[in-house]
Structure 1
């Protein structure tokens, strides 16, 4: 396979590699010739260079995994996540606090040309209405301070999912302006509803009508492989100047919303997040 994307021989880390988008991303990277190191709470059967059991709710677990990988890391793919059916603080820890801690531990292993891609969600689109609050949270120092902030602001955190994804978006944009000075890029994707093992939980908590609305105008769920392609693209050599971007991988949902071609009334009535 052509190395146009520049992954051959690169050392990459994929969190959430057991299933869904993370597994699809790891598979694609292996096909592209990357040396893939996987992290997940559940064991992966993929032929990875290494696999480490990691609980993103536990910073010591993250630290041990990164130390075990060591060496230079060329790209990080933050794909692990929890739906809103889990306790709010577990969702916050996995979807943002642990994601941020993992990234901060990997950054010293990166040099110029390094790239980070994280999965956000259309469930986090409320970020633009409360940037000061998001900025206050994403600039907390360390794992424990972030948890303390959440404990002190339960009405803001709510079910955890929307707020966690808002902060992936805001933190990505904030860090983009800092990391590019080191030659490191960071971006995130906004997936349309995707047929992963978590979809049943999203449908149960948000409602199938809400999820269906978020799947317009394409009219179907995306596949994990389609989402993996977007992640791999923005972390590739081809995207060498793409930085601090919130990248819709959604079959036209964001464009449809902006031009009034997608009816948001169902989603607004339910006011529930969707990925």
Structure 2
């Protein structure tokens, strides 16, 4: 797999303790990368370094990136919380802290570097909310973003999960034309249901019929390794012309939805339509 170009590359993986982030870090190690991990819980992988980070606390982000230092060739934003967590925690981990982390890493990046972030099929409604998210994203800095969310919690943020994942997509699209002028690419993925430790939280919060809607047409959940493969490719050398993608990694669900080939009745019933 040397064609992917990760040998001796310095990379950062947030959320490396479990799930998609753990699978990503593990595969990058196998590809010869120098992997620096970030998470709230300590990873068992043989990383170049591990730093305990709470994305709800920007000071821990700043301290970790200062310790890593040096040149960073690729950033993998894999940390996340489900909708069962408090909405403001979800916003801080899934988007606000992730954006702050990325902004701290960017000065360590040079031409040819790249960034990828995990969004979700739960954020696929972002094209209908571009203007709203533009208003949110105009709030630069950690504290300003938190303040906006607190002021709009009932109206827009709600449970936090969908809004945070939509924000990832819109932010990625907005940043791509700017960063590419520095030779830095940025993309995101929209995974379908994936069998990670977080899945139990989705099962707790969501009816089985609704969850099963999203595994059409492939008929099964993704593995963390399948999601990691997409992330790793997007940040790889052969993907050098891929920039500004919000890439569905969902076994064809979005394609089926757009062409009327999946049954959306359970989803429509949940939404009252």
Q: Could you list the per-position Cα deviations for residues 186-226 of structure 1 after superposition, in whole angstroms to 9, with x for gaps in the alignment?
A: 00001110000010100111222111111111111100000
Provide the C-alpha distance between the structure 2 equivalents of 1:119 and 1:66, rounded to a whole number of angstroms. Answer: 20
In the alignment, which residue of structure 2 is the partner of 1:76? 75
In the alignment, which residue of structure 2 is the partner of 1:212? 212
Residue 268 of structure 1 deviates from its aligned partner by: 2.7
In the alignment, which residue of structure 2 is the partner of 1:135? 134
Contact 1:59–1:101 under 8 Å retained in 2: yes
Worse-superposed segment, 173-182 or 127-136: 127-136
Contact 1:54–1:61 under 8 Å retained in 2: yes
In the alignment, which residue of structure 2 is the partner of 1:118? 117
Residue 111 of structure 1 deviates from its aligned partner by: 0.3
RMSD: 1.0
Contact 1:35–1:48 under 8 Å retained in 2: yes
Provide the C-alpha distance between the structure 1 equivalents of 2:74 and 2:142, rounded to a whole number of angstroms. Answer: 22
Contact 2:82–2:201 under 8 Å retained in 1: yes
Q: 3-state SS of the aligned residue for 2:262?
A: coil
In the alignment, which residue of structure 2 is the partner of 1:52? 51
Q: Could you list the per-position Cα deviations for residues 138-165 of structure 1 after superposition, in whole angstroms to 9, with x for gaps in the alignment?
A: 2211000001100111110000000000
TM-score w.r.t. length of structure 2? 0.98
Contact 1:206–1:270 under 8 Å retained in 2: no
Q: 3-state SS of the aligned residue for 1:72?
A: coil
Q: Could you list the per-position Cα deviations for residues 59-79 of structure 1 after superposition, in whole angstroms to 9, with x for gaps in the alignment?
A: 000000000100000000000
Provide the C-alpha distance between the structure 1 equivalents of 2:168 and 2:268, rounded to a whole number of angstroms. Answer: 22
Q: How many residues align?
A: 271
List 4+ stretches of structure 1 deviating above 3 A. Answer: none
Q: 3-state SS of the aligned residue for 2:256?
A: helix
Residue 22 of structure 1 deviates from its aligned partner by: 0.1
Gaps of 5+ in 1: none
Worse-superposed segment, 18-27 or 132-141: 132-141
Provide the C-alpha distance between the structure 2 equivalents of 1:7 and 1:202, rounded to a whole number of angstroms. Answer: 33
Provide the C-alpha distance between the structure 2 equivalents of 1:174 and 1:269, rounded to a whole number of angstroms. Answer: 33
In the alignment, which residue of structure 2 is the partner of 1:259? 259
The 5 Å alignment of 1:86-235 reads 86-154=85-153, 155-235=155-235
Residue 264 of structure 1 deviates from its aligned partner by: 1.8
Residue 9 of structure 1 deviates from its aligned partner by: 0.5
In the alignment, which residue of structure 1 is the partner of 2:41? 42
Residue 240 of structure 1 deviates from its aligned partner by: 0.2
Contact 2:112–2:184 under 8 Å retained in 1: yes
Provide the C-alpha distance between the structure 1 equivalents of 2:271 and 2:32, rounded to a whole number of angstroms. Answer: 42
Residue 242 of structure 1 deviates from its aligned partner by: 0.3
TM-score w.r.t. length of structure 1? 0.97
Q: 3-state SS of the aligned residue for 1:130?
A: helix
Contact 1:21–1:224 under 8 Å retained in 2: yes
Is structure 2 residue 24 aligned with structure 1 residue 25?
Answer: yes
